[in-house]
Amino acid sequence: MFFGGAGEIGGPFCAGLRGKNLATLIDCGMEAKREKALRLPDFAAMKEYFEPTHVLNTHGHLDHVGGEAALIRNGIVPRQFYKSVLAREFAPIHGEDTIHITIRNWCQELGITPRQLFEKLNGPRADGEHLPIDWEMLCTQIMSGAAQKILAAEGFIGENCVLPFGFQDLRDLEYLSETVTAGKPFKIGNTLVTPYNVGHIMDALGYLIEVGGKRIFFTGDFSREATGYELVKKLDPGVIGPVDVLVINTTYACQPLEPFKTVSERFRSDLAADMAAGRRVVACGFFVDRGAKVALEIEKADLAEYLHVDGKVRDGLSIYEPHTGKLTGIEKYFVSDKEDNRAQLVRSRIKNGQPAIYLVSSGMGVEGSLSNNYIGEHLHDPNAVIYRLGWCEPGTPLDDLSIAAQNGRVVNWRGQFTKFECGVRSYQFSAHATSAEIAQTIKDFHPKTTLMVHGAPRRLEQFKKENTDLPGEIVIAENGRPYKLF
């Protein structure tokens, strides 16, 4: 059964696999949309269906891993969470960032800053200086209801801040997490599980599950195209062999997808032209993988002298630090600003109105994020360009801005309609399989049954009509509906 992410893209992906001696989740994600509460998997349906004893995580993107701590918060505590080394390191950054953004968005609705809220609850320092925000303390005060009570007494009336989890839940998750390696099998009871590289991002895994002589493979998000990013190891069905059941992520089924090489060349050419013209570029990247990918592209374009990496992208790059021998060229971004003369130089360029590149997160410009702040500062600057680097959830700020750039150049930004003067460019640095790759992957695995997930239903119906030569039964999976595999 799928508790999220089956007939949708960007939803909180979560699949439950139940057998005689098996109760396992594959992924437990989260969906973040502007002006909506964070969406989590359907935990109520999960509790009715089964109590999972283990979780297999495919990779570190929010829609696949962001809901794990919320499992614990909702009283569902598996014995073990299995994930790659990098996914395990990304999890606490995702979690803390989710808490920060949720609190910031709530404060914005109330007309107060997080610092003002913190000082209202804890008082200023005796010497009059600002206390640094203790986010864990603030989180605890909100979750206990103390913050809401004090704010209500002062006339700050609004909906309660619903945090999906707290800092202790993140610590519990870290304690319960165990790392796995591609190609090295392990057992859950009498079930053999083997992780395999699947492309998409560095350290992304698919899982082969073997039980009772049957073989099930979950691809997770995957890619088979060469990306020029050497540490992303592509999915190779030939290594895994035929399976009985294939659960395949189909994000770009029946959708055009520009080849990575073409995107890369256009990106570097446009960036060079913008720097030559003296512009300031705000490049909005996901801190997991795409930040590193874009930093490498900027290195290849010989434009690193203009680059300033900030916020979560810097955090993401630091996680790749053990791999710097292979990621030659971006190791300079792992050091702190105090030690980084290059960062100081870029800041001086920015201060003097000279060309510069800001590489910041989030990739969708969600409110409360650094990229949202940078975009807001440059909306009315005709000498600035906002770079969208990949897929954005419909309705997120950067998606709204991209659409508005083609239609009247008026955008609803933080609740106010405003005419903007900055430029907007889009680059599809996708890490997903093309429609042709999806079809070829099904043929290569030759399953008796294929469940297509993580895709738009009308696109998947079109995909079935256009690919009548696929083996076995092709099922477009739906959330909340049980599927008997064998």
Listed in sequence order, the residues at least 6 apart from 51 whose beta carbon sits closer than 8 Å to its beta carbon are: 23, 76
CA distances from 473 to 171, 464, 476, 477 (A): 42, 10, 10, 12
* Intervals of CATH 3.60.15.10 along the chain: 2-84+180-255+432-476
Distances (CA, A) of 230 to 180, 207, 391: 21, 22, 22
- The Cα 18–Cα 21 span in angstroms is 8
Vertex 309 angle, CA 304 and 314, to 5°? 130
Domain 2-84+180-255+432-476 has CATH 3.60.15.10: yes
pLDDT tens for the chain, residues 1 to 486: 999 999 888 789 999 999 988 999 999 999 866 556 678 999 999 999 999 999 999 998 888 999 999 999 999 999 999 999 989 988 888 898 889 888 888 888 888 888 888 888 887 666 656 667 889 999 999 999 888 888 888 887 778 888 999 999 999 999 999 999 999 999 998 999 999 999 888 889 999 999 989 999 999 999 887 665 666 888 999 999 999 999 999 998 988 888 888 889 999 999 999 999 999 999 998 877 778 788 888 888 888 888 888 777 777 777 777 766 666 666 666 554 445 565 666 667 666 777 889 888 888 888 777 888 889 989 999 999 999 998 787 788 899 999 999 998 999 888 789 999 999 999 988 788 989 999 999 999 999 999 999 999 999 999 999 999 999 999 999 999 999 999
Q: Is 158 helix (H, G, I), strand (E, B) or coil?
A: coil
Quick one: CA dihedral 97, 103, 108, 109, positive or negative?
A: positive
pTM: 0.87
Q: How many residues does the chain have?
A: 486
Q: How far apart are CA 422 and CA 430, in angstroms?
A: 24
pLDDT at 338: 47
How far is it, in rounded angstroms, from Cα 61 to Cα 172?
20
Tokens of 377: 């500062």
Whole-number Å distance between alpha carbons of 177 and 69: 11
CATH 3.40.50.10890 fits 260-426, yes or no: yes
Give the pLDDT confidence score for residue 344 in this predicted structure: 66
